[in-house]
A and B are shown apart, each in its own frame.
Chain A
Amino acid sequence: MTERILENLADERGNREGDGCLLDIVLKQVSKRYTGRHLDAVKELDLEIRQGSFVALLGPSGCGKSTLLNLLGGIDRPTEGVIEVGGLSLQSMGDDQLTEFRLKKLGFIFQFFNLLPTFTLEENVRLPLEIAGHDRAFVDSEVTELLDKIGLGERRGYLPAQLSGGEMQRTAVARAIVHKPAIVLADEPTGNLDSENGEKVLALLSEIHAESGITIIMATHSNEAAACAERSIRMRDGRIVSDERNA
């Protein structure tokens, strides 16, 4: 698995990101204020996350964890400060480069699943690979393997409207990792699931983390969910109040 990650890290166009193949994340004095608001969603954050960590961002709603996630994913730009991923500053990237970055290096999991309603389960999972332009045979084998592993193989031809919440989120997880990204960002992945399904998803995430060296950064308001991670970073009013290793 690690070898595959290492292979994938080399951009097909021959660009290399940073030195080596590890994308460590570094935030320096990052602040974010949305237009029209008078408070910072995130204030002067300093943070370092090494490649391969499983980090939980813990806090009540409005504490800035979602904002931080967006910043890490290059979806939003910080008002102040610098975000570096693998030594490269996200701010220095243009829109096309950010898109490329998200395509190859990131995986997202949303609270409301964000599956495309007109795509089947399988087609949703295939998307990242297809957008990246891999040939059909390759995509077929990767996706089939992954779906079987996660146990969604039988439901592959169903549309999201026909899936249960748990199935949908597990599909979202599959979609987030099918292209072997370096980093997975999950925003309240269990927020919309009942406890049983929520546990299943967390177990899946843990398993994935254990097998590959993917960095997983999960925003959640549930302590139980956070417990699955290695490290819990508590946030409040846009600041980090605590940063602990979990047992």
Chain B
Amino acid sequence: MREFDHFLGALSLFRKFVLRDCLHNYVRTVITICGITLGVSVFLAIGLANKTALSSFHDTVDRVAGKANLEIRPLTGRSFDQSILTGLTWLEMAGAVYTPIITDDVVMSVGDDKSEPIQLLAVDYFADDAFKGYEVADSDSSGESPTSLNGVFKHLGVLVGHALASEHKLSEGDKIELAVDDRRFEVQVSGVLTDKGTGAAYGGRLLICDLSLGQEILDLPGQVSQVEIISPPQKIELLQEKLKSELPVSVTVEPASTRTSQIEKMTRSFEYNLYALSFIALLVGMFLIYNTMAITVIRRRPELGTLRILGLSSRNILSLILAEAILFGAVGSLLGLFCGVLIADWALQAVAMTYQRLYFSLPLDSVRLEPVILLVAFLTGVGLTTVAAVPAALEAAAVSPAEATRKMSIELNIDRWTLPFAMVAFVFFGLSAYSSTLPALANFPFFGYFSALTCVFGVAFLMPALLKRMLPVLGRILYPLMGLESRLAVSSLGRTLGRSSVAVATLSIGIAMLISLAIMIGSFRETVIDWARQTLVADLWMRPASSDGGSKNARFSAHMESRLAAVTGVEAVEPWTESDFEYAGMKATLGGARFDLVEKYSNLNYLSGRSNREVASSIRGKSCIVSESFSIKHGVQAGDTIEVPFKTGLMPLYIQDVYYDYVNDTGFVVVNRDFYRKNMKDDGINSFAIFVKKGYEPVSVRKRIFSELSGQSRFVVRTTGELRERILEIFDQTFAVTYALHAISIVVAILSVMNALFALTEESRREFGILKYIGLPAKGIKKMVLTEAGVLGLYGCVFGIMLGFVLSLLLIYVINKQSFGWTIRFTVPFDFIAQTFVIIMFTSIASGLIPARLASATQAPEVVRSE
């Protein structure tokens, strides 16, 4: 009974002491909770988006593989010769069953110029039941067997995935038009799948057909994409061994789950970078909490002292303050969960394009709500809030009973702490500098991020010392310009250094994030523009229509090259072919280019600085160039030899040079086209770079190409200008999330300035009263408060911009380099920085308006009387 009363007593104390105060100072409460909400919602949204992308992939791999516990996949290219299957018949004797699958993405026309990429999965309709992962919805109740062999024999029949069918209202008998490579293909729906098993792979946006039709649609005569094997569990390793020894080097035998772990590895950089960015929002929120709690403790020192005198122990006080923090944390995090879920779909869309472009093509529509992630986000919000409140809580617990009798609230003697803090700051700076030189861990720039974090903390700890030095300087400058009020403002800030330094620190960090990201993205953009300008020197660019629709492997057939070259006005046609391969367990891209033409017409930039002519002329036979990302990811450089899998076997390639490229972060290895054709047994062409004869206009040559070739082929031709625009479009899309994130961190930073100003005004009521008593007019007090706001904003900007520069260096030269392997040239978007400066100053002063009004309204007599 006593314990319960005790608890109820504690609760009632909490309610009266903490809750009522929070409600009374509702502006500050709302600001603080907003800060937490923002941080948690961003963190959650990013977490959900990432998890959805990866688990969608995982899910699809699982659904397609079904019960199969081994898979034969190509190590290079997108398919392998079907003759391999004849060598697998012995598997039956070993008690295993197997079936081939042919699959690729195609583009489906959905009327009126619109199209969407979907997956085509060609399976053996007669495969062993164990493989039959899908189920056809019964269209009639005649009790026909589910395989609906009639459909199989309707030679062009496909089964449509549930989501696709319901979205486009497809049913048996309907016709679908597909764009594959540069061709059109019409198929007929012979059934609709339920969302059981394979039917829901690829988000239900798939077509299933029989193997022969699949080969025909995809123009893969004699090829299959993978073979699924179900082996008795105890024999898996044995069969895997035997298969590995018998199969050619260009294929690999592995459980399907390896594909998932591969993708996870590949996307890790991108994923973690997103998490890091979202963590920024949380971090700024933390500073806000610290600020709020610190102010609260200072403001309520007399009350805390009184409670101590009345008999409350330090421990009780500590719990009270921590409980307040946990309350903020819980409410803010809960709201954050709610908001996070709301914006999660948008976050998914923002990152989906990049996932799809770089890593895997999979429809990503809406976010899956994973309870674990929600819980993690909630606990993180509450946890960080509590951690941020610990210093204030400890301070509160240290309040001695004597403070109850103090007649004036005494600011924490920050002077005592300034020097030790400054020393700690330098330790942080040292750590930061050191870790910035360390290499990546498991391909992830841990130390880069650590360096950034320690740098930020260094600035925070150094802030009291900085302000202590610099405020008087500013005071001296402002006095002749702005008069007495400015001096008062500066000295007031100087006296309350504990609070003002936290406010300036928070603002600086928010601004620093903004500036550093702006510099990084700006630099990146400039670099890409530069690169595009230098490297993309052709006049026209041509690729199959379905490429534009989203299909990744769309090809032209080989004879297009000569037909294109024969068009009037065309000087030269440079074909490009590429396909994915596995290198050191990670995905990379193999390219085939005509280096004789590259030598003459193109303009690649190489790390060595050598001329394009010189390097290109040396790429024949077993030599290659690799992109910068590839070189950094795998630690290889010019002069090394790498072993690359081709259809004909493993080939040692000599790296002539490394070239700059920004298309993907998994890297390219490029060989001469003849070598590619011979060893990949692939004549197809992914795209053409077209050089126009002197005296001809690219636009008119394009017209001619269309008129001469579009009869038999469906393609898109872009001018270089249009291509560059498109590249930038994709670029901006990729960074959409980043833009959003730093807008949020700025909001949080501004919130903290407002917070500080509100506190400031309240605390200084006595001073204002006295000043008024002395004779300072209300206008003067307003001016003083606005000046304080301005000064906070000014320092926030100054230090923020400086910190931003340092952070941008880290981002560009360490974090990005180690994550993606791209060289980015440092360019400063001065206009953006100037804009930011103006906006922040304006917002800071504006956020001081209300506090200024409150301050000037302080009645002189009432304050003095209580003296």
Contacts and interface: CB of A to CB of B under 8 A. Distances in A.
Interface string A89-105: 00000011001101110
A133 B5 contact: yes
Nearest to A95: B314
B404 interface: yes
Interface stretch (A123-131, A141-149, A221-229): A123-131
Contacts of A133: 2, 5-6, 9
Given A104-B311, A112-B866, A130-B12, A117 B401 contact: no
B20 A75 contact: no
B310 interface: yes
Contacts of B2: 133
Nearest to B9: A130
A246 interface: no
Contact of B303 (A76, A117, A187): A117
A116 interface: yes
A116 B15 CA distance: 13
Nearest to B307: A116
Contacts of A100: 311
B17 A116 contact: yes
Interface string B491-522: 00000000000000000000000000000000
Contacts of A128: 310-311
Interface residues of A, number: 34
Given A118-B16, A123-B16, A131 B402 contact: no
Contacts of B404: 108, 110, 114
A154 to B, nearest CB: 21
Contact of B309 (A75, A96, A119, A135): A75
Contacts of A59: none
B302 interface: yes
B5 A135 contact: yes
B402 A76 contact: yes
B148 interface: no
Bin chain B's interface residue count: 20 to 34
Q: Name the residue in B1, B309, B866 with the highest tally of chain A Cβ atoms < 10 Å from its Cβ.
A: B309
A116 B306 contact: yes
B312 interface: yes
Given A118-B20, A132-B311, A133-B2, A75 B400 contact: yes
A230 to B, nearest CB: 25
A128 B307 CA distance: 9
Interface string B113-128: 0000000000000000
Nearest to B1: A135
B24 interface: yes
A110 B405 contact: yes
A73 B17 contact: no
Contact of A102 (B17, B302, B311, B314): B311
A231 B1 CA distance: 45
A96 B314 CA distance: 8
A75 B6 contact: no
A220 interface: no
A99 B311 contact: yes
Interface string A151-186: 000000000000000000000000100000000000
A132 B312 CA distance: 9
A75 B405 CA distance: 10
A93 to B, nearest CB: 13
A215 interface: no
Nearest to B16: A119
Contacts of B5: 133-136
A75 B24 CA distance: 30
A70 interface: yes
Contacts of A118: 16-17, 20-21, 24
Contacts of B21: 118
A76 B122 CA distance: 86
A190 interface: no
A175 B306 CA distance: 12
A131 B407 contact: no
A234 B419 CA distance: 45
Interface in B345-379: none
A142 to B, nearest CB: 15
A120 B397 CA distance: 24
Contacts of B13: 130-131
Interface in B301-323: 302-303, 306-314
A232 interface: no
- The residue among A70, A104, A118 with the most chain B CB atoms within 10 A of its own CB is A118
Nearest to B309: A108
A66 interface: yes
Nearest to A74: B401
B195 to A, nearest CB: 57
A112 B404 CA distance: 10
Contacts of B308: 99
Contacts of A130: 9, 12-13
Nearest to A123: B16
Contact of B402 (A70, A112, A175): A70
Nearest to A187: B405
Given A75-B400, A118-B20, A66 B405 contact: yes
Contacts of A112: 407, 866
A117 B299 CA distance: 12
A237 B35 CA distance: 53
Contacts of B17: 116, 118-119
Contacts of A66: 405
Contacts of B312: 99, 131
A222 to B, nearest CB: 18
Contact of B313 (A70, A99, A117, A119): A99
A75 B311 CA distance: 11
B313 to A, nearest CB: 5
B409 to A, nearest CB: 12
* Residue of B5, B24, B866 with highest tally of chain A CB at under 10 A: B5
Contacts of B310: 102-103, 108, 127-128, 131, 175
Q: Which of A73, A104, A112, A187 has the most CB of B within 10 A?
A: A112
Interface string B540-551: 000000000000
A130 B6 CA distance: 9
A133 B7 CA distance: 10
Given A116-B303, A116-B306, A118-B20, A70 B405 contact: yes
B1 A102 contact: no
Nearest to A179: B311
A168 to B, nearest CB: 11
A104 B20 CA distance: 27
Given A75-B402, A102-B311, A114 B9 contact: no
B407 to A, nearest CB: 7
Contacts of A73: 309, 401
Contacts of B402: 70, 75-76
Contacts of A102: 309-311, 401
Nearest to A185: B309
A83 B6 CA distance: 33
A195 to B, nearest CB: 16
B303 A131 contact: no
A114 B24 contact: no
Interface string B14-56: 0011001100100000000000000000000000000000000
Nearest to A133: B6
A183 to B, nearest CB: 13
Interface in B75-132: none
A70 B305 CA distance: 13
Interface string B588-618: 0000000000000000000000000000000
Contacts of A135: 1, 5
B401 A75 contact: yes
A114 B306 contact: yes
A102 B400 CA distance: 13
5 contacts: A70-B405, A95-B313, A102-B309, A114-B302, A119-B20
Given A75-B401, A117-B303, 6 more contacts: A70-B405, A99-B313, A103-B311, A108-B404, A131-B310, A135-B5
Q: Which 5 A-B pairs have the closest CB atoms?
A: A103-B311, A118-B20, A75-B401, A114-B306, A99-B313
